[in-house]
Structure 1
Amino acid sequence: MIYHHPLAYLVGIEGLALLRAWAGEHDQAFVEARLAEVRRLLDDETLAGHDGVVVRRGDTLAGYEAWATTYDEPRNSLFDVDEPVMHAILDELPAGTVLDAACGTGRYAAYLAGRGHRIVGVDSSPAMLGRARTRVPDGTFLSGELHELPVDDDSVDIVVCALALVHVPSLAPVMAEFARVLRPGGHLVISDVHRDLVLLGSVVHSPGPAGEPGVTPTYRHLTGDYLRAALPAGFQVRRCEEPRPATPDQPVPPPAEAAAIGDWADWPWTLLPVVPAVVRAVWDKPSTVIWHFQLS
């Protein structure tokens, strides 16, 4: 079982900030402020006396079934990061048949349908598929898994896969499936949750049958992992980007009281205001990685 404790999370990201200072990104005043803040956190009874939460290892399907009704609203902040680059790549490709693999609620299916593409969407979540069908009524949406797509060989011109491979333990079987369904010369355009964002605790909650805390399986894929899976499948790299969210051009707010950390269901987001200077220091990393491959 996994164990989440708010104090452990806060001290953990303090440590990441201190490591970045060790590498030369911050000065003595920053380091001393972090050490003082760690002492304050350790002395805070709200945090030190917290029981923590035992968290089960959930599954991806349950997590996204629960998230389906709110996946698009309020808007997921990762959409603002991946869409400008993804759209720039996709807008240069001629209209054809697109497979939106792990299509979710049809975010990219709808965008590409509006640009004249024929859409085939695949997802394992019935709730997500239901919303995608409503969003793109002319599309074909099928239940399936990334490693076993219900799509014929050499039948699509473009495969799009957005923010899904982070839940796949091994990329090679999925890349092989993408290569199987693509026509020669076809394009694969991927956005994925960046490994650094996963390190910072951004994981999808997956509640159990009685609502007990759980998180989806989440994997930190290295750059080499994508390449070792894609190149043997016959793909060539056309582009790779690691966009990051915009850094607010505002003063760092004062720390919030630890008493306002909220419930586990809202972690780690409600923990971040307790250490705003650290958040500004460590959350400026890329939040997505985007790949454009072309099949030989």
Structure 2
Amino acid sequence: MDAGTPDPYGRIHYRGLIAWPARLAREAPLLRRVLGDAPLDLLDLGCGTGEHTRFLQALGHRVTGVDASPSQLAAAREALPAAPDLPPARFVEGDLAALAELVDPGFGGAICVGNTLPHLATEAALDRFLAGLASRLAPGAPVLLQLLNYDRILDRNERTFPVNVRPGEDGETVFLRLMTPQADGTVIFTPATLRYRPGAEPPLELVAAREVVLRGWRRAELEAALARTGFTANDILGGMTGEPWSPTAQDLVLIASNT
């Protein structure tokens, strides 16, 4: 992110809006299966506030998290455990499309989860990211990519996700995510954070909202991009708990290797 550019994620507090211990417990078996038991140098791409980075670090991996948001990375660095017995973890700020310029080669695996890929909104940006990733991975290194299942979202013209309500410091925090699919495959995505205090006036207040144009990458488009940039797709799932993919699955999870 360029100096002086406002951080669009500065007021979106994702850490408090996700039940992270439960989520990581659900995802742990698949992450272990894909990444294996041997300690690796791993990339956590689109790492946000670093929950997956710290989880992988606790498993014994050396992890580099990459994200474009200074505020998310600041929160990630603050949460790193002061534990000298753990392998090192670090965070790098930058655009994923410029990954080859951000980190050195030689990584033994990578994850990119949490609907990060749609922020690469053009085929050129996606290819640049994947080609850069391929250049930074050792031969045969595993890659796990997870995003929403845009085959379902676009085909059904879905407009919103279930409302997420979490405890907050002053009332409850409501996380609302609206979508407006476009004919060109992009999606106008509007996440909003609200404060809900029954009995107060007003009982519901807007805390933060933003709008971003995402690319709703379909399965076939991502498989083609992986093939173009030197990856072999080994498995395709419908979620991080390992269920088979279908056009109506919740997510699209691609497990690939660098060839």
Same fold (TM over 0.5): yes
Among candidates 111, 116, 123, match of residue 60 of structure 2: 116
| TM-score relative to the length of structure 1 | 0.57
Question: Counterparts in 2 of 1:233-252, with a 5 A limit?
Answer: 233-243=229-239
* Pick aligned residue for 1:167 from 119, 122, 144: 119
CA deviations 1:24-73 (Å, max 9, x no partner) are xxxxxxxxxxxxxxxxxxxxxxxxxxxxxxxxxxx9951x3221x34343
> Deviation of residue 80 (structure 1)?
7.2
Indicate yes or no: 2:46 matched with 1:102: yes
Aligned length: 196
- Return closer, same or farther for 1:213/1:132 CA change in 2, 3 Å cut-off: closer
- Take 1:70 and 1:153, find their aligned partners in 2: how far apart are those partners? 29
Residue 102 of structure 2 is aligned to residue 144 of structure 1: no
Q: Does the aligned pair in 2 maintain the 1:153–1:180 contact within 8 Å?
A: no
Residue by residue, what CA displacement relative to the aligned partner does 1:95-146 show, whole Å, maximum 9, x if unpaired? 1111111101112111110111101111111111112112335411111111
In 2, Cα distance between the equivalents of 1:143 and 1:213? Answer: 23
Q: Tell whether the 8 Å contact from 2:35 to 2:109 is kept in structure 1 after alignment.
A: no
Cα distance change on mapping 1:244 and 1:92 into 2, 3 Å: closer
- Once residues 60 and 227 of structure 1 are traced to their aligned partners in structure 2, the CA distance between those partners, rounded to angstroms, is 34
The 5-angstrom pairing of residues 85-100 of structure 1 reads: 86-92=30-36, 94-100=38-44
The Cα RMSD (Å) is 3.3
Equivalent of 1:286, from 249, 253, 256? 249
Q: Matches of residues 23-42 of structure 1 in structure 2 within 5 Å? A: none
By how many angstroms is 1:285 displaced? 3.6
- Matching residue within 74, 96, 99 for 1:130: 74
Q: Unaligned stretches of 5+ in structure 2? A: 82-87, 162-176, 178-188, 193-206, 242-246
Give the Å deviation of 1:168.
Answer: 1.5
Q: Which amino acid aligns with 1:162?
A: V
Determine if the alignment matches structure 1 residue 205 to structure 2 residue 201: no
Distance 1:136 1:224 in 2: 37
Match of 1:182 in 2: 137
- Taking every aligned residue pair, what percent have the same amino acid on both sides? 20
Change (3 A) 1:147 1:82: farther
Q: Distance in 1 between matches of 2:59 and 2:231?
A: 25
Contact 2:7–2:71 (Cα < 8 Å) also in 1: no
Task: Give yes or no for the alignment of 1:66 onto 2:17.
Answer: no
SS at match of 1:71: helix
Equivalents in 2 of 1:244, 1:119: separation in Å?
20
Higher strand share: 2
Structure 1 residues 74 and 115 mapped into 2: Cα distance closer, same or farther (>3 Å)? closer
* Paired residue type of 1:294: S
Alpha carbons of 1:72 and 1:157: their partners in 2 closer, same or farther (altered >3 Å)?
A: farther
- What is the letter of the counterpart of residue 179 of structure 1? A
> What is the TM-score normalised by the length of structure 2?
0.64
Task: Structure 1 unaligned segments of length 5 or more: list them.
Answer: 1-58, 246-283
Question: What is the Cα deviation at residue 83 of structure 1?
Answer: 2.0
Change (3 A) 1:292 1:212: closer
Instruction: Please give the alpha-carbon distance, in whole angstroms, between the structure 2 residues aligned to 1:213 and 1:184.
Output: 42
Letter in structure 2 aligned against 1:156: F
